[in-house]
Amino acid sequence: MSHKIAPSLLSADFLNLQADIEMVNNSDADWFHCDVMDGSFVPNISFGFPIIKQIGKIAKKPLDVHLMIVNPDQYIPVVKDAGAYMMNVHYEACVHLNRTVSAIREAGMKAGVTLNPHSPVWLLEDILEYVDMVLLMSVNPGFGGQKFIEYTLGKVSRLKEMIEKKNLRTLIEVDGGVNLETGKRLVDAGADVLVAGNAIFGDANPAEMIHKLKSLV
């Protein structure tokens, strides 16, 4: 199975969001990646659930929602109502991760757990079988357009090994500084989903860039 591409709308043109959503609809992309920031867990504020709900009305592909917020538990019904397919919460923001992940699945969404660059993958050893996707941050979350952190590649390989050893189907997604060069190495290391913001929306031909990222082998 080929890897998936999830364009991050954080780098889209907010004055003309509809055009960018339609571009993604008509491209080789698989998901829409929506970044929610609260100015507390990360030093930036992006957009919230009413915007995601509007995006969902015209998006023809699943919404991959990445919550960079404290206490994500309290928003599970709201995220579901906004139309999320995948709800990603940060390991570092959840005191009772087992409860959070169960509640996300009970609400009818796929559960994703995100690790900041400093958090090792072995932290997820025991919960892995209850998680649909692990999102590895390859930058410190909060901003688009940052430089890829190299040691993420080792984390992808080690996580892949853990998943295969346990005979699981957990997906590995990578987010931050992904472009054609880092994307190729991530796919080789075992990444299943590539998020890209700046590389796609900063390109003169975003649909073509999505196609190129999707064609990496």
Q: Kindly write down the DSSP assignment for every residue of 110-143, as one continuous string.
A: EEEEEE-TTS-GGGGTTTGGG-SEEEEESS-TT-
Query: Considering only 22-30, 61-69, 79-87, 184-192, which stretch makes contact with Zn ion by CB under 5 A?
Result: 61-69
Interacting residue with Zn ion among 3, 4, 66, 155 (CB under 5 A):
66
Positions 114 through 173 that interact with ligand DX5 (CB under 6 A): 139, 141-146
| Contact indicator for 138, 110 with CB cutoff of 8 Å | no
| Contact indicator for 208, 5 with CB cutoff of 8 Å | no
175 in active site? yes
| Minimal distance, residue 35 CB to Zn ion, in Å | 4
What is the chain's Cα-based Rg? Answer: 16
Q: Give yes or no for residue 35 binding Zn ion (CB under 5 A).
A: yes
- Of residues 147, 157, 94, the one with CA closest to residue 120: 157
| Minimal distance, residue 44 CB to ligand DX5, in Å | 8
**Which candidate in 20, 30, 132, 175 is catalytic?**
175
Q: Cα 206 to chain center, whole Å?
A: 18
Positions 175 through 204 that interact with Zn ion (CB under 5 A): 175
- Of residues 188, 201, 206, the one with CA closest to residue 3: 188
Main-chain dihedrals φ then ψ at residue 95, nearest 5 degrees: -80, -30
| Minimal distance, residue 88 CB to Zn ion, in Å | 8
Q: Give yes or no for residue 3 binding Zn ion (CB under 5 A).
A: no
Q: Using CB atoms within 10 Å of the CB of residue 88, give its burial: 0 to 12 exposed, 13 to 18 middle, 19+ buried.
A: buried
**Which candidate in 30, 35, 64, 132 is catalytic?**
35
Q: Give yes or no for residue 7 binding ligand DX5 (CB under 6 A).
A: no
Interacting residue with ligand DX5 among 152, 170, 182, 198 (CB under 6 A):
198
Closest to ligand DX5 by CB, 66 vs 212, is 66
35 in active site? yes
Main-chain dihedrals φ then ψ at residue 87, nearest 5 degrees: -110, 115
> Catalytic amino acids?
35, 175
Q: Which stretches of the chain bind ligand DX5, using CB under 6 A?
A: 8, 10-11, 33, 35, 66, 139, 141-146, 175-178, 195-199
> Contact positions toward Zn ion, by CB under 5 A?
35, 66, 175
